[in-house]
Structure 1
Amino acid sequence: MGDIRFGVDDLAQLRFAVSPLWETIAALRASADPGRHALHLPWIKQALTVGRERTDLLPHLAELEALAPPPRCPLAEIEEELATLAERPERAAPVLAWWEAGVRPHWPRIRAVLEADLAYRTRQLAEDGIQEVFAHLHPSLRWSDDRLSWTGPPVGRLTRDGGGITLDGGGITLAPSAFAARCVLLPGRPAEPGRNGTPPCLVYPSRGVGTLWERRAEPGDGLARLLGRSRAGLLGRTSTPTTTTGLARQTGLSPGAVSQHLAVLRDAGLVTGHRYRREVYYRASELGLALLERTP
């Protein structure tokens, strides 16, 4: 048991993030303990066949968990995080190999679940405030006064003595994880000459993980006749935010073809797009979602 104590500045610096590096490490632990991660058995059966990339890293799993850097931005790139990890242990190359073999082929599906969680949390923050976000983040967490407390096993390597930490005004990052079985606190990095500091990150189990490996039904014939099968299929995959590249991987269409179909769907008011960094994320509009729900 322990707690994280917040100041006013820390609440103002609250961030959300998705960390592909942490998901890669958490996926490694899940593959090593199938009994505790039964929801992931469809994926674990494939992961066990990956071979050397996975088995080479398993003896170093605890080290990787302890040294994994907290994410610096909402949608971090694996290459950026690996560059930071490489400054700590000499295992960035095998981690990248495991990412490529075991996680990256499924990343569009995983990231869609994580982004849906972020969309839910940010909407909850806007509508109900930070106390409600913390109150529903995970059953082991409790928000009271100026602190976030937890019960159960210690959270992260900062709290093994059962104590707590006080944030220094830089806030904290909250990151959902599809593979985490419990909350984990990743320690931040202090500022150094020429480098900004990184706040701590609280990793928590994501919502919606139970649907991660479900087989997705294709839109009905009625919608396919209305929009065309390719556009209907793309619309059905935008119930959570996704990119042109992600849709191309899921459907087998070329990125150019996906862009053309999305332009038609956007002009019809069925999808919306917003840019973050170098990518545009598309999501079905209320009209698009209603069409998906009502078309047989």
Structure 2
Amino acid sequence: MSQLRFGASDVAGVRFAVSPVWETVSSMWALADPVRHAVHLPWLDQARVTIRRPDVAVRVRPLVELTRPRGWLPDFLTPPAARPDADLAEQLDQIAATPPDVVVRDLLATIPARPLSPFGQALRDDPAGRLPELVTALRVWYDEAIAPEWPRIRALLEADIAHRAALLAEGGAGQLFGQLHASLRWVGDRVVSDDPWQLDFDLGGRGLALNPGIFTDRRVLWNLLEDSPPGGTYPVRAVATLWETPPLAAGDPLARVIGSGRAALLNLLDAAATTTDLARRTGMSCGNVSQHLAALHAAGLVSRSRQGRHVLYRGTEAAAVLLRASRGE
């Protein structure tokens, strides 16, 4: 069990971001254990083909060696995003600028879980000289395996953040952390995490950067060091929908009245969602979704609210009545 202790400024400093470098790094876990990550099989099928290509394999080898199964990640490899919409280039610059002594310290901290790989040893012995190889490996793997799917991945991550922001606005930090993951609970001035690491960490007024992860499946993973920004990655909601494009509800009685696109949206709006998330889940364009939502909102079937830079849509009680009637309930 671990605990994170919060002061007033830490509560005020809780923030969310999407981290492309985290998805790039953690995707290696799915490749190494496809049974555990079977929900990602559509992506894994293509990723396995990609990583077997000789031109890719040789360049991503440093990343493969630092993300081996049953090992720990060196913390410098997954820095919290500096801002909510940070892109990969910014995060790679953060990694490239890691001081050599921090690289060595973080590598040595992983040894209790598993001895260093050959590249890990080389990086420990010459951090300044070998770190560019790791940055290149991250860039290559992102470009080859993550970038083609990044729009749908980002849409899911941003939809999750919008949901969490709404919880924070409605019920404060206690509600946010109480629903962030089943392993967490808010107790007084701290978050208690049911995990095996036995951490006792005071955030010290630096706040906490949180990011959802699609390849993070069992618990919240912490990045907690005294001399770096505290961060945590938690399993994203609705990950099972990521690789699916459900058919529009053409056979639905309601679809025959209001159209299949609008019926499909209403069926998804029992929980708040953004336009980009709805586009990803239905296969419609964002423009098409926006037009349907505008019509549904004008008819009183959809409500909308702004949470930060996100606009959230949700079905109204009138929509729920229509859905129940169309299902014969």
- TM, length-normalised to structure 2: 0.67
Specify the alignment match of 1:194 in structure 2.
Answer: none
Change (3 A) 1:210 1:18: same
How far, CA to CA, are the matches of 2:182 and 2:258 in structure 1?
44
Displacement, 1:151? 2.2
Verify: 1:210 aligned to 2:216, yes or no.
no
- TM, length-normalised to structure 1: 0.73
CA contact (8 A) 2:155 2:276 kept: no
CA contact (8 A) 2:162 2:307 kept: no
How far, CA to CA, are the matches of 1:35 and 1:228 in structure 2?
36
Specify the alignment match of 1:27 in structure 2.
Answer: 27
How far, CA to CA, are the matches of 1:220 and 1:290 in structure 2?
18
1:25 aligns to what SS in structure 2? helix
Specify the alignment match of 2:167 in structure 1.
Answer: 124
From the CA coordinates, give the structure whose radius of gyration is larger: 2
Structure 2's unaligned 5+ residue stretches are 99-130
Specify the alignment match of 1:185 in structure 2.
Answer: 222
How far, CA to CA, are the matches of 2:82 and 2:274 in structure 1?
20
Specify the alignment match of 1:73 in structure 2.
Answer: 83
Q: Which has the higher helix share?
A: 2
Change (3 A) 1:73 1:224: farther
CA contact (8 A) 2:2 2:194 kept: yes
Change (3 A) 1:236 1:80: farther
Verify: 1:58 aligned to 2:64, yes or no.
yes
Give the superposed CA RMSD: 3.8
| AA matched with 2:75 | A
Structure 1's unaligned 5+ residue stretches are 155-161, 191-197
Change (3 A) 1:136 1:59: same
Residues 173-203 of structure 1: CA deviation (Å, up to 9, x unaligned): 121111113221124685xxxxxxx631111
Specify the alignment match of 1:43 in structure 2.
Answer: 43
- What pairs with 1:1-296 in structure 2 (closer than 5 Å)? 1-51=1-51, 52=53, 53=56, 56=61, 57-61=63-67, 65-67=74-76, 68-88=78-98, 89-90=131-132, 91-154=134-197, 162-181=198-217, 182-187=219-224, 190=227, 199-220=229-250, 240-242=273-275, 264-265=291-292, 268=295, 284=313, 286=315, 290=319
2:40 aligns to what SS in structure 1? helix
Change (3 A) 1:252 1:50: farther
How far, CA to CA, are the matches of 1:275 and 1:164 in structure 2?
32
